[in-house]
Amino acid sequence: MRAAVVHAFDQPLRIEEVPVPEPAHGQVVVRMETCGICHTDIHAAHGDWPVKPAPPFIPGHEGVGIIDRVGEGVTTYAEGDRVAIPWLGYACGACEYCASGRETLCAKQENSGYSVNGAYAEYALADASFVGAVPEGMDPLDAAPLTCAGVTTYKAVKVSGARSTDLVAVYGIGGLGHLAVQYARIAGASVAAVDLIDSKLELATALGAEYVFNAATEDPVEGIVELGGADQAIVLAVSPTACEQAYRSLKRGGTLVLVGLPADNVMALPIFETVLGGITVTGSIVGTRVDLAETFQLHMEGRTQVVRESRRLEDVNESFEQIEKGDVDARLVIDFR
Ligand code: NAD
Ligand code: ZN
Ligand code: ZN
């Protein structure tokens, strides 16, 4: 089968022939139809984060496809079922986090396309207990971005606690951000969208953002504070500056939700203002299997719109460059069909 493989953090991915994986006990082999390109895959390929993947590896954690083979002991899925392969490829099921419905915090987790091979390949291996059932009739080109960008921002809005009278500042209107705007609107909140690129802000407006700020040409903090300040700020931009601006956009009692993971791993957090303002700062990492099912449900109800463009597997390096330049409407999706 063909796959896009990372061999070194300073080299482009190579498209090569590799063996089709064999399903072990509890695993399935999925014939990929689509796989979204998450900015996380770019961080993975560049070795941007403190915990690094070990090359050679195959990225991809927005994989959607048809189960081709099931391993021994798999009872929940059968050949022919359409499933999604998310970032949370495996969790132990027994630790305090797994047992309390916080499986995304499991210390024994495996991550698709990072600690184990992912879905930038014609076939991918997955743990049957952690794939998501793609609802009948959902377009695989929509299902792919929902599998990470969707579930992550759906969860981040939940974590933010946004309610109908709140103003949510969304920093970064990319693959994640264009969906975050929609989930904040579904929660009933008003949205102030911030990006560096006007076309992204136009998209945010089309998706329901009431206010937009271009941080390249104006001070988003000033603009949002003038509105009374944000009750919640969710950062999906790959930038510590955006984290700091999001923090300063908050009103007293507000909540900062960090989601984006820039290589430059540190932000300035003023202690005095955090204490006196009663500010909450929290991180949010992807979502659970239940969050993914809810994300799919909202889409089937026609309440979300996935903005995406198709690419071929061979286009992966060029696609990475386009995403890094911001030269993409929202999400690029590899179409294997
Ligand atoms: P993306 O490249 O599609 O979107 C990033 C957006 O941020 C772009 O629109 C860009 O123009 C904008 N931006 C960049 N600098 C900015 C700034 N200073 N102010 C405002 N906007 C700015 O990326 P994505 O796929 O949406 O991923 C975003 C980040 O989230 C990545 O770091 C990724 O690794 C991370 N991520 C985290 C989780 C999680 O669970 N916490 C899950 C998925 C992705
Ligand atoms: Zn992702
Ligand atoms: Zn666990």
pLDDT of residue 142: 98
Report the domain count for the chain. Answer: 2
Query: Tens digit of pLDDT for each residue in 163-179?
Result: 999 999 999 999 999 99
**250/198 same-domain check:** yes
Q: Is 45 within a domain?
A: yes
**φ/ψ (deg, to 5) at 241:** -60, -45
**66/183 same-domain check:** no
Atom from ligand 1 closest to the CA of residue 324 = 2
Tell me which residues have their CB closer than 6 angstroms to ligand 1. Answer: 38-40, 43, 148-149, 152, 171-177, 194-197, 200, 215, 236-239, 241-242, 259-261, 284-286, 323, 326
Structure pTM?
0.98
**128/159 same-domain check:** no
pLDDT of residue 179: 99
Instruction: Please tell me the distance between residue 104's alpha carbon and the centre of ligand 3 in angstroms.
Output: 8
Instruction: Please tell me the distance between residue 267's alpha carbon and the centre of ligand 1 in angstroms.
Output: 15
- Tell me the ligand closest to 92's alpha carbon: 3
Query: Tens digit of pLDDT for each residue in 68-80?
Result: 999 999 999 999 9
pLDDT of residue 160: 98
**124/177 same-domain check:** no
SS3 287: coil
Helix (H) / strand (E) element for 192: namely strand 190-195
**φ/ψ (deg, to 5) at 130:** -120, 0
Atom from ligand 1 closest to the CA of residue 330 = 3
Instruction: Please tell me the distance between residue 101's alpha carbon and the centre of ligand 3 in angstroms.
Output: 10
Residue 206 — very low, low, confident or very high, per pLDDT cuts 50/70/90? very high
**112/37 same-domain check:** yes
**206/276 same-domain check:** yes
Which of 259, 265, 288, 327 best tests ligand 1's pocket when mutated (most atoms within 8 Å of CB)? 259
Which of 155, 176, 235 best tests ligand 1's pocket when mutated (most atoms within 8 Å of CB)? 176
Which of 35, 38, 331 best tests ligand 1's pocket when mutated (most atoms within 8 Å of CB)? 38
What is d(CA 279, CA 237) in angstroms, rounded to the nearest whole number? 20
Answer whether 126's CB lies under 8 Å from 67's CB. Answer: no
Q: Please name every residue paired with 125 in a beta bridge, in sequence order, or none if there are none.
A: 29
Which of 35, 37, 40 best tests ligand 1's pocket when mutated (most atoms within 8 Å of CB)? 40
Q: Is 55 within a domain?
A: yes
**193/109 same-domain check:** no
**Helices and strands of the chain, counted as H and E runs:** 11, 17
78 by Cβ neighbours in 10 Å (0-12 / 13-18 / 19+) ranks as: exposed
- Tell me the ligand closest to 330's alpha carbon: 1
Q: Is 325 within a domain?
A: yes
Q: Is 99 within a domain?
A: yes
Output the domain CATH number for residue 74: 3.90.180.10
pLDDT of residue 243: 98
**172/47 same-domain check:** no
pLDDT of residue 195: 98
Residue 327 — very low, low, confident or very high, per pLDDT cuts 50/70/90? very high
Q: Is 119 within a domain?
A: yes
Q: Could you tell me what percent of the chain has a pLDDT over 90? A: 100
**DSSP structural state of residue 66:** E
| Protein residue closest via CA to atom 17 of ligand 1 | 242
**123/188 same-domain check:** no
Q: Is 298 within a domain?
A: no
pLDDT of residue 293: 98
Query: Tens digit of pLDDT for each residue in 116-153?
Result: 999 999 999 999 999 999 999 999 999 999 999 999 99
| Protein residue closest via CA to atom 4 of ligand 1 | 174
pLDDT averaged over every residue in the chain: 98
203 by Cβ neighbours in 10 Å (0-12 / 13-18 / 19+) ranks as: buried
Residue 289 — very low, low, confident or very high, per pLDDT cuts 50/70/90? very high
Q: Is 128 within a domain?
A: yes
Residue where the block lists tokens 């286009």 = 315
Query: Tens digit of pLDDT for each residue in 222-272?
Result: 999 999 999 999 999 999 999 999 999 999 999 999 999 999 999 999 999
Answer whether 37's CB lies under 8 Å from 323's CB. Answer: yes
For ligand 3, a single-atom ion, the residues with CB < 5 A are: 91-92, 95, 98, 106
- Tell me the ligand closest to 99's alpha carbon: 3
State the residue range of the domain holding 237: 150-283
Instruction: Please tell me the distance between residue 241's alpha carbon and the centre of ligand 1 in angstroms.
Output: 12
Report how far Cα 273 is from the mean position of its chain's Cα atoms. 30
Instruction: Please tell me the distance between residue 88's alpha carbon and the centre of ligand 2 in angstroms.
Output: 10
| Residue at 304: amino acid letter | T
Instruction: Please tell me the distance between residue 127's alpha carbon and the centre of ligand 3 in angstroms.
Output: 14
| Protein residue closest via CA to atom 27 of ligand 1 | 39
Output the domain CATH number for residue 177: 3.40.50.720
pLDDT of residue 273: 97
pLDDT of residue 87: 98
pLDDT of residue 150: 99
Q: Is 144 within a domain?
A: no
Residue 310 — very low, low, confident or very high, per pLDDT cuts 50/70/90? very high
Query: Tens digit of pLDDT for each residue in 17-34?
Result: 999 999 999 999 999 999
Q: Could you tell me what percent of the chain has a pLDDT over 70? A: 100
**231/322 same-domain check:** no
CA distances in angstroms from 42 to 11, 55, 328, listed in the order given: 12, 14, 15
**84/163 same-domain check:** no
**78/203 same-domain check:** no
What is d(CA 100, CA 92) in angstroms, rounded to the nearest whole number? 12
